[in-house]
Amino acid sequence: MKKSKEATGAQSGAAASKLIDERIQELGDWRGETLAKVRKLIHEADPEVVEEWKWRGVPTWSHAGILCTGETYKSAVKLTFAKGASLPDPKGLFNSSLDGNTRRAIDLHEGDTLDGKALQALIRAAVALNTSK
């Protein structure tokens, strides 16, 4: 995937949203569909979420700090929660980066079913944690 100059720097707001739209379209497969679904769930859970484009092309969602990122790989869409180790996960969505003291991730593979309500609960918990200071 080729990247424009604009796509390589940090962006936020409308510029980031446009770059995320483009990423979803460029993928054109289950990863794009998954990223679009996750994005919709995040916005429903937190209408005040800010979309950002960081680290040379990583969709990022923030509210008083980073909530999670949405990286795409050949075989997975990885949602990494910046403070995931501090979040309740009663439905057991976290399945990656479990050994660290700070972050946790959800790896989604082709054909996986995502519990949207559980993801939205994680987003709300991440917002509450970020805004509790």
In the chain, how long is the greatest CA-to-CA distance? 41
Angle, alpha carbons 118-119-122 (nearest 5°):
90
CATH of the domain at 110: 3.90.1150
Query: What was the pLDDT predicted at 10?
Result: 74
Q: How many domains does the chain have?
A: 1
Query: What was the pLDDT predicted at 9?
Result: 60
Is 82 among the domain residues? yes
Token pair, residue 16, equals: 């980031």
Is 44 among the domain residues? yes
Is 1 among the domain residues? no
| Structural domain of 57 | 10-131
Phi, psi for residue 65 in degrees, rounded to 5: 130, 170
Is 105 among the domain residues? yes
Is 3 among the domain residues? no
Enter the DSSP assignment of 83: T
* pLDDT tens, per residue, the chain with 133 residues: 444 434 446 777 789 999 999 999 999 999 999 999 999 999 999 999 999 999 889 999 999 999 999 999 999 999 999 999 999 999 999 999 999 899 999 999 999 999 999 999 999 999 999 999 7
Is 4 among the domain residues? no
How far from 61 is each of 1, 99, 110, 111, CA to CA, in Å?
Answer: 22, 23, 22, 24
